[in-house]
Amino acid sequence: MKKAIMLAGWMILFLSAFTQKIDYNSYPVYTGTDLGLTYSPRQSLFRIWSPPADNARLLIYKNGITDTASLIISMKKNTAGTWTAILPGDQKGKFYAFRVHINNEWLDEVPDPYAKAVGVNGKKGMIIDLKQTNPPGWEKDASPPAPLLVERGEAAIIYELHIRDASMAANSGIKNKGKFLGLTERGTKNEEGLSTGLDHLKELGVTHIHLLPCFDFYSVDETRPDLPQYNWGYEPLNYNTPEGSYSTNPYDGAVRIREFKQLVKTFHENGLRVIMDVVYNHTMLTEQSYFNQLVPGYYYRHTRDGKFSNGTGCGNETASERAMMRKFMLESVKYWVQEYHIDGFRFDLMGVHDIGTMNLISKELHKIKPGILLYGEGWTAGSSPLPDSLRAIKANAARLDRIAVFSDDIRDGIKGSVFDNNDRGFVSNKPGMEESIKFGIVASCKHPQVDYSKVNYSKFAYAAQPTNTITYAECHDNHALWDKLAISAKDATEAERKQMQKLALSIVLTSQGIPFLHAGTEFLRSKKGNENSYNAGDSINAIDWSLKSKNRDVFEYVKTLIKIRKEHPAFRMASSEEIAANLEFLADLPGGVVAYTINGAAVKDKWNKIMVVFNGTPKMQNIAVPTGYWSKALVSGSDPAGDITFAVSNQLLVGAYSCVILYQ
Ligand code: CA
């Protein structure tokens, strides 16, 4: 995540009277699972947790917009710091909010953080019958059968997509533009007749669609679809409801639920799994957040002088180590899996969270869904009061239980630092990047032939297993890869940069670990040089589906790489020991060339032996390779050897900026 840092400055200046001198650990912990609304046609039971309150009210509304409550009910103090109210009869369709009284003051009226349905812009909870939000056939919905080893992540190929980006361009051919439903449409095509949207995802062959934030976020005004609004969505408002602007009717809290379920179901029917990008590390609002208006200060970390700490760069950071925040996160992800059949989560700024909470989440989610895929950003965006040793950061990846971290080592090894626009990487002929590429090939695991002292960032193998590592060259943050190459390799021709991008994706899709693709990278997506497009609008962000026609060769190449990866377990070995034993780097190569062989037979691959060569230099390289009858699987660029089916000499010609995959 990288978003509006501008909020941070003034928000942390707020000094909460409550945040000082309070021992939050003295608050009783509620262990029940009925926080928020428990609906039945006979009654609606409301329960909120607010130990410091001496009074609490439930406000009932006829709709989600009015400020005039039709009913105000005094809540009863209940066990473990909770407050309850019961409304008899069928209350379906009404809206609600709460206010608590603390230190002689009524705080703002807010829906509870557990709200499962909300009105427009998420300002009030909505009483609904969740059973009635299921699309037809929902009870039969199941995740696609696990591809080989998906339980441990190795077979997954992740595709990161923003709901709105997928369909907004006129040439998407999609009717429900910017909506969940847009990605449920079949048979959509661009102007040249090539598939778009859902059909494109199927054609490409990826296994998991990682959706940028789909929970209810703050900035897009859901009452104004006529305005040119856009946001990535890293602005959490209601964690347990889908975003209203992606629905066809944001006023009725049930519609967005049904439509998001429809999307999940359609993806599942088409062999795709769904990953949600979740952002528990901060809330969009700080003092005024729904957490903070019910239990001031509790859900956040603070600096020594009582201010909100800001490890996220967004004005606050949540405190996952506190019992009720940990419980909230755990129940929230469980809810998405159980109610929406979600198949995985990407944790934004996961380094803000403590390892204990992340491992508890992993343990509990794996019990429900053994094939669940969990990963996150193993870093923060600022300093945090929680010690590094306790945080789910990249350096602690080996202590995370079945949770992967993004490898910025391979990302920037491939293309150059994201913080220096002009910096180049291995694919754009920067010298000295070989060990960073090798580090990525072995998925940040221990390998006797990697010189860790020469890896760009990490000087040790932080991954215990390949499934600890997400391998990528680009994501929504920073410049699109195609733009980064245009800026940093400006002397190269467009044809050369195309070769560089294909080489980058070759590295991502042949490396051990879990590969991750940014939507559109397979046909050279550009964001027109915008490196932080979080609110930049459709003109920058919408996927231009004409690129699929224009760069069809790149698309076909990536599709082939994906096919090879799925068919060959050698590219997704199950353990670091297997990698160390069966993957051997070739020695004495020219600078800017990395090559290795895999003993395919040892890992039950149908290819007995595999050789992969990457040439990141602008010239053809003649390299010494093990003698043998090598067949060609894939060549990314010009093929100096022509249409060979085998080579018996120990010399191999590899074209400029290109990848060669051979097998025996
Ligand atoms: Ca919203």
Please report the pLDDT score of residue 658 as a whole number.
95
Q: What percent of the chain has pLDDT over 70?
A: 94
Calpha distance 351→264 (Å, rounded): 28
CA distance 616 to 425: 9
Q: What's the rounded Cα separation, in Å, for the pair 436 and 563?
A: 26
Give per-residue pLDDT as tens, 400-434. Answer: 999 999 999 999 999 999 999 999 999 999 999 99
3-state helix, strand, coil in the chain (%, to 5): 30, 20, 50
As a dihedral over the C-alpha atoms of residue 275, residue 279, residue 280, residue 281, rounded to 10 degrees, the angle is: 140
Exposed, middle or buried: residue 292 (CB in 10 Å: 0-12, 13-18, 19+)? buried
pLDDT at residue 381 is higher than 60: yes
**How far is the first Cα of the chain from the last one, in angstroms, to the nearest whole number?**
43
Asked whether 341 and 264 are in contact (CB, 8 A), the reply is: yes
pLDDT tens digits, one per residue of 437-475: 999 999 999 999 999 999 999 999 999 999 999 999 999
Q: How confident is the model at residue 195 (pLDDT cuts 50, 70, 90)?
A: very high
- pLDDT for 242-251, tens place per residue? 999 999 999 9
* Alpha helices, DSSP H, located in 58-105: none
663 CA distance to ligand 1 middle (Å): 51
pLDDT computed for residue 646 by the predictor: 53
Task: Tell me the pLDDT tens digit for each residue of 96-135.
Answer: 999 999 999 999 999 999 999 999 999 999 999 999 999 9
Let me know: does 619 contact 658? Beta carbons within 8 Å: no
CA angle 502, 505, 508 (to 5 degrees): 155
Q: What is the pLDDT of residue 348?
A: 98
Q: How far is the CA of 285 from the centre of ligand 1 (A)?
A: 13
The length of the chain is: 664
User: What's the rounded Cα separation, in Å, for the pair 162 and 537?
Assistant: 12
Given a cut of 70, whether residue 148 has pLDDT beyond it is no
| pLDDT 10s digits, 618-659 | 999 999 988 888 888 999 976 655 545 455 578 888 999 999
For the cut 90, the answer to whether the pLDDT of residue 19 exceeds it is no
Distance 216 CA to ligand 1 centre (A): 4
Give the residue-averaged pLDDT of 517-532: 98
Residue identified by tokens 């990288």 is 2
d(CA 584, CA 259): 49
Residue 16 has pLDDT above 50, yes or no: no
CB atoms within 10 A of CB 90: 15
Query: Quick check: 169 and 162 in contact, CB under 8 A?
Result: no
Q: For residue 435, report the distance from its CA to the centre of ligand 1, in Å.
A: 44
Proportion of the chain above pLDDT 90, given as a percent: 89
Ligand 1 is an ion; its neighbours by CB within 5 Å are 216, 243-244
d(CA 204, CA 261): 23
Q: What is the DSSP-derived secondary structure letter of residue 589?
A: P
CA 279 – ligand 1 centroid, Å: 14
Task: State the pLDDT at residue 12.
Answer: 41
Has 348 been annotated as catalytic? yes
Active site residue: 216, 348, 477, 605, which one? 348
Distance of alpha carbon 632 from the chain centroid: 35
- How far, in Å, is the centroid of ligand 1 from the Cα of 92? 22
State whether residue 139 is helix, strand or coil: helix
Burial class (CB in 10 A: 0-12, 13-18, 19+), 325: buried
> Quick one: pLDDT at residue 145?
75
Residues 6+ apart with CB under 8 A from 434: 426, 454, 591, 592, 593, 594
Taking CA atoms, 169 is separated from 164, 215, 218, 428, in Å, by 9, 23, 24, 31
Determine the Cα–Cα distance for residues 176 and 178; give it in Å rounded to an integer: 6
CA atoms within 13 A on the CB side of 490: 6
CB 466 within 8 A of CB 574: yes
Residue 11: is its pLDDT beyond 60?
Answer: no
Quick one: tokens of 348? 């934004």
Give the C-alpha separation, 269 to 261, whole Å. Answer: 12
What pLDDT is recorded for position 8?
40
Cα of 246 to ligand 1 centre, how many Å? Answer: 9
Please tell me the predicted confidence (pLDDT) of residue 25.
Answer: 93
Q: Is the CB of residue 243 less than 8 Å from the CB of residue 308? A: no
Mean pLDDT, range 343-364, rounded to an integer:
98
pLDDT of 199-243, one tens digit each? 999 999 999 999 999 999 999 999 999 999 999 999 999 999 999
Give me the pLDDT at residue 90, please: 98
Query: What is the 68 CA–ligand 1 centroid distance (Å)?
Result: 22
Residues 290, 238 contacting (CB under 8 angstroms): yes
What dihedral angle (degrees, nearest 10) is formed by the CA atoms of 292, 295, 296, 302?
-90
Question: How many Å lie between the centroid of ligand 1 and the Cα of residue 162?
Answer: 15
Q: Which of 252, 277, 377, 412 is catalytic?
A: 377
Q: 268: which 2 tokens?
A: 């599942």
pTM of structure: 0.95
What tokens were used for 211?
A: 């959706």
Q: Hey, is 391 helix, strand or coil?
A: strand
Strand partners of residue 158: 208, 516
Q: What's the whole-number average pLDDT of the chain?
A: 94
Contact 413, 434 (CB under 8 A): no
- Structure tokens given for 18: 């409550």
* 154: annotated active-site residue: no
Q: State residue 650's pLDDT score.
A: 82
214 CA distance to ligand 1 middle (Å): 9
pLDDT the model gives residue 21: 73
For the chain, what is the largest distance between any 2 Cα atoms, rounded to a whole number of angstroms?
86
Q: Return the DSSP state at 146.
A: P
For residue 399, report the distance from its CA to the centre of ligand 1, in Å: 35
Chain segment 49-90, per-residue pLDDT in tens: 999 999 999 999 999 988 899 999 999 999 999 999 999 999
Gap between the Cα atoms of 171 and 84, Å rounded? 52
Expressed in angstroms and rounded, the spacing between residue 209 Cα and the centre of ligand 1 is: 21
Range 188-199 average pLDDT = 98
Query: Across residues 37-43, what is the average pLDDT?
Result: 98
How confident is the model at residue 641, as a pLDDT? 57
Q: Partners of 74 in the beta sheet? A: 57
Residue 123 CA to ligand 1 center (angstroms) comes to 9
- pLDDT value of position 9: 39
Residue 119 CA, chain-centre distance (Å), reads 26
Which sign does the torsion angle of CA 106, 112, 113, 118 carry?
negative
User: Are residues 329 and 365 in contact, defined by beta-carbon separation less than 8 angstroms?
Assistant: no
Strand (E) or helix (H) holding 185? none
Nearest-angstrom CA–CA distance, 78 and 459: 53
Residue 267 has pLDDT above 60, yes or no: yes
Mean pLDDT of 344-355: 98
**What's the gap in Å between 243 CA and the centre of ligand 1?**
5
What separation in Å is there between the alpha carbon of 85 and the centre of ligand 1?
A: 27
Retrieve residue 256's tokens.
């967005």
The pLDDT of residue 598 is above 90: yes
Give the integer Cα–Cα distance in Å for 262 and 53.
40
